[in-house]
Structure 1
């Protein structure tokens, strides 16, 4: 009889266990939904009113945005600063209910980024997003902090608009861009962030390749980066290599190996530049120099050197010196390297380049102060 009396208690205990389990699952579901909605709100708030979004999908600790577009502010050289076919944000859910957020991964697929360099040398990227993070930090009394473990771009495109050059602003387009940036802290941007990127630089006749690898600390501008260009069309890069009055490029390719280091606000960046299959423009009004040296000497060297010119140069100096100017110093350094490669007298080169830059031999001794956008 004891056994018969005890038997109904077993299913009652089982029912209670199921009820408790169901309640726990319901609470977990509610917590997950709350965290997912909180993540969605934070992502949309970060993108701001400039953002237009096709669809939003919530996952376990993630938000996926489809057909994202962030329109550019007034005066920006383009309609958008960011586009993405698909953007996925994965976060640590517990951090969403504090002032210290942690994003594990941001993935941008088939994206578009627009970056510009202002006339005074400042680099600008996603101004509305970065500006909002600084405002949020101010509103929270300095307590706001966001750690992003990794940002990844897949099959994306970057337009770089440069207004720091004399004359018409230049634009360089990088396509098929795959990039990873690790360990980014906002809003202070302190600490080292590892960077890896590769893509194609769009050209008229053919596309070249670009690779960038190393680390940088955005807050202090310290960095150790290696830049590699291969078979890049020389025509889009012409504003960086030539003065306005010089002989232009009809066609040609460039290879570049540059190792740039910034330590304690001092820059040193040795590089090797190779010009290949170079053909200079001719006709009325064409200048008598190319990259600071005689046009005739360049043509003669191409004929005798297998249609190729190799030159070495080094950019170095103190970033805190307000007299540094990247574009002027680069012109002089390349002219000196070209002269050494062709065996031309250095004094004549410095005289010619100095008359154009207004700095003469002083520019030869100076280094670059604004390689990564200059000082704020």
Structure 2
């Protein structure tokens, strides 16, 4: 009798142990299936991923590709050899959902700017995320949208960003930033009312030099308030010619020279205040043979002579102010008028792509992350 009771007790103990093991495993397998399904739905018809590895506390996507839609200037909107998510597993139960890090490695990202100045990246991702949410009932969808999510850091390593800008020419002007590394720290979804720290570094290879670009600071994504610094160092003028001299009315061709620039931009209540410094080094322009050709409203020959007199270096300190919500206000046009007023003061610069375009790009990345997380 005692032996029978002992056997029953042992069987109960084994049953409890099996339940404690099998039930969590079954739940975990369900979670794994849901995660994989969500990722595939979010990527949509233009996206693909060769492998999704879901481990305890991490999700790794291998060889991710998001093809560009019809009319996109590049064949791929984004591709990455690996995307890794480090998940705080306790947060899946206790809430809010907490990602310690999202790491994107060996990547390519194409960014398009339309003729009216709108910046787009990761096209289609937002639409597919909404469609994926629409498959759930409305209450479930609303609850998911309101769900608090914290991301400590998003990092981009060993990659390149390619800009296609239709606001300066058609077909779009192309600028490639190589060895591009970026971090986005402290993302609090869905409110986005706290400061998010941003940084980006990369190189721009020109016909004669390889220059460096940096951009960093903080931004409150919800209201667009920000304080950032952007720098260019040793960048070939010819590489950025459409943003620089041509924008200010230069007709003569640029054949050499580099640019150094620093812009400190502050945005508060959609008003921008952006003091900066521009230095053009060893600028060379060619004579076209046409005596009527000008360089920033000055005859080309006189401009060439002025460059020699100034020891081939021209420095400009400038300040840009305006309301970003005013459709009549344009950073580039405002600055171009100042530059064209006198050769001695400037030889042309447009910081629109630095002071505002970079911010649009980072905001776009933030929106894409919101969609990927199901916001």
What is the TM-score of this pair, normalised by structure 1?
A: 0.79
Secondary structure at the aligned position of 1:235 is classed as helix
Q: CA deviation at 1:304?
A: 3.3
Contact 1:314 1:333 in 2 (8 A): no
Q: RCO greater where, 1 or 2, for CA within 8 Å and sep 6 or more?
A: 2
Q: CA deviation at 1:141?
A: 4.1
Which residue in the other structure is 2:198 paired with? 195
Q: CA deviation at 1:294?
A: 5.1
User: Cα distance 1:236–1:23, how it changes in 2: closer, same or farther (>3 A)?
Assistant: same
Distance 1:373 1:293 in 2: 35
Contact 2:42 2:128 in 1 (8 A): yes
Contact 1:58 1:64 in 2 (8 A): yes
Secondary structure at the aligned position of 1:127 is classed as coil
Aligned partner (choices 11, 25, 28) of residue 24 of structure 2: 28
Aligned partner (choices 45, 57, 61) of residue 61 of structure 1: 57
Structure with greater Cα Rg:
1
Contact 1:112 1:157 in 2 (8 A): yes
User: Cα distance 1:72–1:42, how it changes in 2: closer, same or farther (>3 A)?
Assistant: same
Secondary structure at the aligned position of 1:44 is classed as helix
Distance 2:253 2:218 in 1: 35
Secondary structure at the aligned position of 1:53 is classed as strand
Contact 2:106 2:158 in 1 (8 A): yes
What are the Cα deviations for residues 217-258 of structure 1, in whole angstroms up to 9, with x where unaligned?
334222111001111121120001123652121121111100
What are the Cα deviations for residues 326-375 of structure 1, in whole angstroms up to 9, with x where unaligned?
33223224445853369xxxxxx9xxxxxxxxxxxxxxxxxx9965569x
User: Cα distance 1:61–1:40, how it changes in 2: closer, same or farther (>3 A)?
Assistant: farther
Contact 1:36 1:61 in 2 (8 A): no
Contact 1:174 1:201 in 2 (8 A): yes
User: Cα distance 1:254–1:337, how it changes in 2: closer, same or farther (>3 A)?
Assistant: farther
Which residue in the other structure is 2:70 paired with? 74
Which residue in the other structure is 1:47 paired with? 43
> What pairs with 1:112-123 in structure 2 (closer than 5 Å)?
112-123=108-119
Distance 2:318 2:261 in 1: 11
The answer to whether the aligner puts 1:170 opposite 2:173 as a matched pair is yes
Which residue in the other structure is 2:313 paired with? 308
What are the Cα deviations for residues 158-213 of structure 1, in whole angstroms up to 9, with x where unaligned?
01111112554211111111101123456675543211111111222221111111
User: Cα distance 1:183–1:208, how it changes in 2: closer, same or farther (>3 A)?
Assistant: same
The answer to whether the aligner puts 1:144 opposite 2:145 as a matched pair is yes
Contact 1:248 1:286 in 2 (8 A): no
Larger CA deviation: 127-136 vs 84-93: 127-136
Q: Which runs of 5+ in 2 are unaligned?
A: 349-353, 362-375
Distance 1:311 1:119 in 2: 28
Which residue in the other structure is 1:236 paired with? 239
> What pairs with 1:221-370 in structure 2 (closer than 5 Å)?
221-243=224-246, 246-284=251-289, 288-291=293-296, 293=298, 295-336=300-341, 338-340=343-345
Secondary structure at the aligned position of 1:38 is classed as helix
Distance 1:183 1:247 in 2: 47
Distance 1:304 1:158 in 2: 39
User: Cα distance 1:98–1:291, how it changes in 2: closer, same or farther (>3 A)?
Assistant: farther
- Equivalent residues, number: 347
Distance 2:278 2:76 in 1: 33
The answer to whether the aligner puts 1:216 opposite 2:247 as a matched pair is no
Which residue in the other structure is 1:207 paired with? 210
Q: CA deviation at 1:89?
A: 2.4
Contact 2:261 2:278 in 1 (8 A): yes
Distance 2:303 2:143 in 1: 58
Larger CA deviation: 213-222 vs 200-209: 213-222
Q: Which runs of 5+ in 1 are unaligned?
A: 343-348, 350-367
